[in-house]
């Protein structure tokens, strides 16, 4: 696993795209602070850059470095969630501008998977995480379901086995600093 993490970090630092197993489904990732790398993700997915992407952080302290204010309820949601849960926060900071939605929000998840935690922690910055498919096509549940176009479009593919029996995308909850909570995806 150490070799895979080091290979990923080399690619991320170079502004390249990686294909990696996340705490949900296989994801396309890049340095979330690099606007050129983020642009490559949108291009590969053929996705409009107005549709925001999710980014992963290694732990709550990293989350706090990239959001102006983490609402208290976010900690409860993270502690009580029974599956990976992405939270849309107001006023993100120190990430690529083209990662931030038009309403000045950003979807962030604290990774629950060991590989992702080690990778992001060692990289020291958030990593983009978006499903490994062309926009509008079904999310691949297994590595073997990822299209050749995506496989060829990334710079590095992590060589780790599928471990999850029935992977699914994360829940998404929007938390506004005014206290509003909205479930976007269960």
Look at residue 134 in the predicted model and tell me its pLDDT. Answer: 95
State how far the Cα of 44 lies from the Cα of 146, in Å rounded to an integer. 13
Contact at 8 Å (CB) between 47 and 135?
yes
Look at residue 71 in the predicted model and tell me its pLDDT. Answer: 94
Look at residue 162 in the predicted model and tell me its pLDDT. Answer: 61
State how far the Cα of 107 lies from the Cα of 74, in Å rounded to an integer. 12
Contact at 8 Å (CB) between 115 and 2?
no
Series of mean pLDDT values for 10-residue runs along the chain (186 residues): 95 98 93 98 91 93 96 93 93 96 95 94 97 93 93 95 70 85 84
pTM: 0.92
Look at residue 176 in the predicted model and tell me its pLDDT. Answer: 85
Look at residue 98 in the predicted model and tell me its pLDDT. Answer: 95
Contact at 8 Å (CB) between 5 and 119?
yes
Q: If we measure between CA atoms, which residue out of 122, 114, 125 comes closest to residue 160?
A: 114
């Amino acid at each position: 696993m150490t070799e895979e993490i080091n290979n990923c970090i080399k690619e991320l630092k170079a502004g390249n795209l990686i294909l990696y197993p996340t705490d949900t489904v296989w994801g396309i990732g890049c340095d979330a602070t690099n606007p050129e790398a983020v642009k490559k993700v949108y291009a590969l997915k053929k996705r409009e850059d107005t549709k925001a992407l999710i980014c992963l952080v290694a732990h709550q302290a990293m989350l706090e470095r990239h959001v102006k204010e983490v609402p208290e309820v976010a900690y409860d949601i993270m502690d009580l969630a029974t599956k990976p849960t992405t939270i849309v926060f107001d006023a993100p900071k120190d990430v690529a501008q083209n990662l931030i939605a038009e309403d000045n929000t950003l979807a962030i998840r604290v990774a629950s998977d060991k590989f992702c935690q080690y990778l992001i922690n060692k990289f020291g910055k958030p990593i983009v995480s978006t499903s490994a498919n062309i926009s509008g096509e079904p999310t691949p549940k297994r590595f073997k379901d990822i299209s050749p176009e995506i496989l060829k479009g990334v710079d590095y593919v992590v060589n780790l086995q599928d471990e999850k029996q029935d992977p699914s995308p994360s829940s998404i909850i929007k938390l506004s600093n005014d206290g509003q909570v909205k479930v976007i995806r269960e």
